[in-house]
Chains A and B, each alone.
Chain A
Amino acid sequence: MNKVLIGRRLHKSFGQTPALRGADLSVEAGEVLALMGPSGSGKSTLLHCLAGILSPDSGEVVFDGRRVDLMPDRERSRLRRSAFGFVFQFGQLVPELPILENIALPLLLGGTRRRTALAAAEKWLPRLGLESVGARLPGEVSGGQGQRAAIARALIASPRLVFADEPTGSLDSVAADEVMELLVTCAKTQDAGVVLVTHEPRMAAFADRTVTVRDGRVVEAAVLR
């Protein structure tokens, strides 16, 4: 299989506290990979390093043959707009922008004309059941609707990979299942891979493969599909 993202011997510390101690991980093209582990194991830090949000203290992150950890911020920002998408637990929607503009934000930041970007975002509303809330602010919609908007935003630029950090952590079980189903389905429709951090086995069951992170290292892996 084609490895689209590789992390090798990743180390990362915050002050005196080590979060990653030589983690190794690779992501295949189009696969849904779940990172599991106890609280404080380093799974979110690993995801952030793989996504280029954080720079590891040592080790390398390679995406499509290019070293992400060595890229300047401008290049990594471009990756986040075009090649990567993000769905986090909360806080990734801009409170002052309506749902439609939040979805269109990556295109707007990339220089797409406003009309074109909003037209593209409009197409995502019915796909994710958001037809009635496009003009509302994030604070005026439910948690599930907000996460679905985040999914739309993550996928609007046709990314290669979507990074999701506890995307259902703040949702009830019904909404959580709905969101995971949409995330995985939409990603696979666009041949986008998903790297998912979760501590819930029920959410990890949506993945093709799971890895366990413990004490800053990847300690075991399991193929589900």
Chain B
Amino acid sequence: MSLTLGIRMALAGGRESLARMALMALGLAVGVMLLLLTLTALPIMQSHVDRLAWHRTTEASPATAPDPALWLAVTDRYAGHDVIRVNVAALGPRPPVPPGVEKLPGPGEVVVSPALAELMRSIPADQLRDRFPGRVIGTIGDDGLIAPSELVGIVGRTPEEMRKTYGALEIRGIEQPGEPLDVKALWQLVFTLIAVLIVGPVVVFVSMVTRIGGARRERRFAAIRLAGATRWQTALLAATETAMAALTATLAGFLGYQAIRPLVAHYVTLGHGMPIFVADVAAPVGQALAVLVAVPALAVATTLVALRPVQISPLGTRHPVPRRPPRVWRLIPLAAGVLGLWYLVRLDNNPLLSVAAPMSILVGLVLSGPWVCQWASRAMARLSRNATTLIVARRIAADPYSAFRSVSGAALAMFVATVLGMVAAGERVSASDVESVLRQGVVAVHVEGAPEESLAPLISDGVVVARRGPGLRIIVDCADLKRVANVRCPLPWWSYDGKSTGDLFVVPQRLAPRGFAVPDTDSSAPVQTLFIPTDGTQAAEERVRTLAANVAPGARTHTNRDLAAQAIQRLATWDTALPPAMVFVLLVAACSLTVSTVTGLIERRRPFALLRASGMRLGELRRMVLLETVVPLGVTVAGGVGVAMLIVYLLVSPTQWVLPSGGFFIGLGAGVLAALAVSAIALPLMDVATRHDSVRFE
């Protein structure tokens, strides 16, 4: 009986009830979708690590095949993109085979990724194709790629060729996926903040929506309780309405998540600048099911908690026992979280603290908001000079909890956006340092001990040769090096002007140079790096790279363009993800404010009408309603931004602590103003809502 009665009542509840259900369903659907997408973060990163596994193959990799092979993987570059070139030679009929490939290519054969095959077709051979000598016999499948547009090729060689190539390893197996993800404290914080940035305002929006028509719903259920309904029956009736909206929302949210996965895959670039596979954007099944069950359950629970007064008494009315004003203890979780973060970053990277500290900060922000609103309103009351501001100040001071609740979504969003914006600004600073070590047009070819006679085609007039001497010193003439790199003579080893001469020699850490030496007449020391000037065009640089790939297959190359591109890729993730996220959360926060303003207007229609009947002008009433939102919003946003700056100051090194550009703050301010403007949509309703018929009592 109760279920069917509940369904009938939910559908017969009129416009107010249908509007509430529709808005609740919309908010919950968005919440489900975002929660599911948030759950894909770690699987995406794990998939990335798994896909990278075979690239980490070394001679120590566990055996995966009966016969060994010779293996040399080189990360080359083309037009700012990584191009992976793996040289292989089977040492038996059943060698280890990388994923995505049916068999290891033999001498004169090449297997390439689809993106590399397409690129090879579109540009002159001497700029790329010739780096992969041989006949293309097939493409690498998705299992062997990091991303759909990865540029990777496997070149088949003879064992003799490979044995003469410096750096070639004998392997017995391909490194397998399964390495656990190591998520650093800072990234955990970033993920947590992103989750809050996205999901928090939606939660606030849903809680605001459930208040629509709350008084009328309370009266309805009080009447039912009075007629003899038990608490369980009342709960079932109340839950039915919410459950109908929540189940619809869960389905819509799941469908929305499925629909938006390709978009996420397109925008998420894990530092390599390439969109990822849609299949990798997948929330773990168990966690996804938990979300699909938990969200409707929480929505129903929220409804039941809101109706608790009715559950307790069929009168459904709360006798006014005033809630205690917020006390200063509410600042403790925030302070503790900030201290914990400082300890975490400066003293000890404790895994438990890396989760507890950010959570304590977020909880602390929510707890301290009412306290801040209370004291701001008391100050406002003391300073007010007219009835409007005085009424607003007293009202906020009387119930700072409600005042903060309506703006909490926007305040949290501003806090998180400021943290992310400042971290991104720091990244820009560090990224700009490495741009200009190599001069434009110079290709640095790191040959690492390749036979000098084989390098002859690369050495011509103007090429600067840097050799590796005893004690890992680099033997090079400084005046020569100055022709190809932005350095000062004599050559120090420490950094100056924010640049490090070590950046000229990108080698494994175990071979990192320890100093410089002046060349003498003995030129028998092995060649470390060749600095080859070109005319500065990309085509010329790529031709040098192609030549290097054939002359010294194990060589790595760098240009001035590569160093800049790496920095740009790091920033691309911030630049593509942050603005849409901020726009979204500000919109949701604006909707919460609007719902809160409209609901408050409906609930206080009679007192407002009485004020107007007593002589208050409509403009003053509107100013009052606007101030009730502006004051808490301004105070909490300012507080949130301030706390965010303090946290970033603690998290990053002093050189990286920079304020974001003026554009960022203009964007933040514009976002807050836009949120206010949307919430002000309710103001024109005040004229209708506060007319004389609202003061009738019979």
Contacts and interface: CB of A to CB of B under 8 A. Distances in A.
B60 interface: no
Contacts of A160: none
Contacts of A106: 227-228
B647 interface: no
A111 B313 CA distance: 22
B20 to A, nearest CB: 13
Given A14-B321, A53-B313, A53-B315, A91 B223 contact: yes
B223 A94 contact: yes
Interface stretch (B9-17, B368-376, B423-431): B9-17
Given A108-B1, A109-B233, A92 B226 contact: yes
Contacts of B222: 91
A111 B226 contact: no
A54 to B, nearest CB: 6
Interface string A79-100: 1111000101001111111000
A116 B47 CA distance: 62
Nearest to A80: B228
A15 B698 CA distance: 31
B685 interface: no
Given A81-B228, A94-B223, A96-B220, A111 B12 contact: no
Interface in B1-38: 1, 5, 8-9, 12-14, 17
Interface stretch (A70-78, A122-130, A191-199, A213-221): A70-78
Nearest to B697: A170
Contacts of B224: 94, 105, 109
Given A95-B220, A96-B220, A109-B233, A77 B12 contact: no
B9 A78 contact: no
Interface residues of A, number: 32
Interface residues of B, number: 30
A94 B220 contact: yes
Contacts of B315: 48, 53-54
Interface in A40-69: 48, 53-54
Interface string B197-230: 0000000000000000000100110111111111
Given A96-B9, A114-B1, A78 B223 contact: no
A114 B233 CA distance: 16
Contacts of A157: 228
A148 interface: no
Contacts of A114: 1
B267 to A, nearest CB: 45
Interface string B226-250: 1111110100000000000000000
A77 B698 contact: no
Contacts of B12: 96-97
Nearest to A154: B227
Interface hub of B14, B227, B322 (most chain A Cβ within 10 A): B227
A92 B223 contact: yes
B314 interface: yes
A92 B143 CA distance: 66
Contacts of A86: 226-227
Interface in B374-433: none
Nearest to B322: A15
B7 to A, nearest CB: 11
A98 B229 CA distance: 18
B230 A93 contact: no
Interface in A108-137: 108-111, 114
A153 interface: yes
A30 to B, nearest CB: 22
Contacts of A53: 226, 313-315
A15 B233 CA distance: 29
Contact of A80 (B17, B216, B227, B321): B227
Nearest to A143: B698
Contact of A91 (B8, B219, B313): B219
A178 to B, nearest CB: 17
A81 B12 CA distance: 24
Contacts of B1: 108-109, 111, 114
Interface string B658-698: 00000000000000000000000000000000000000001
B319 interface: yes
B237 to A, nearest CB: 10
B14 A80 contact: no
**Which of B1, B223, B225, B321 has the most chain A CB within a 10 Å cutoff?**
B223
B323 to A, nearest CB: 11
Given A91-B223, A96-B14, A14 B319 contact: yes
Interface in B538-592: none
Contact of B698 (A80, A94, A111, A170): A170
Contact of B227 (A14, A54, A92, A95): A92
B565 to A, nearest CB: 64
Contacts of B13: 96
Given A48-B315, A82-B228, A108-B1, A95 B321 contact: no
Interface in B224-283: 224-231, 233
Given A96-B12, A96-B13, A110 B223 contact: no
A97 B319 contact: no
A80 B314 contact: yes
B501 to A, nearest CB: 76
B21 to A, nearest CB: 13
Contacts of A170: 698
Contacts of A105: 224, 227-228
A78 B233 CA distance: 12
A108 B315 CA distance: 20
Contacts of B228: 77-82, 105-106, 109-110, 157
Contact of A95 (B8, B216, B319): B216
B1 to A, nearest CB: 6
Contact of B230 (A77, A88, A91, A153): A77
Contacts of A108: 1, 5
A54 B9 CA distance: 27
Contacts of B321: 14-15
Interface of B: 1, 5, 8-9, 12-14, 17, 216, 219-220, 222-231, 233, 313-315, 319-322, 698
Q: Which 3 A-B pairs have the closest CB atoms?
A: A81-B228, A80-B228, A14-B319
14 contacts: A15-B319, A77-B228, A78-B228, A79-B228, A80-B225, A80-B226, A91-B223, A95-B216, A95-B219, A96-B8, A96-B220, A97-B8, A106-B227, A109-B233
Given A77-B229, A92-B227, 8 more contacts: A15-B321, A77-B230, A79-B228, A82-B228, A91-B223, A94-B9, A110-B228, A111-B1
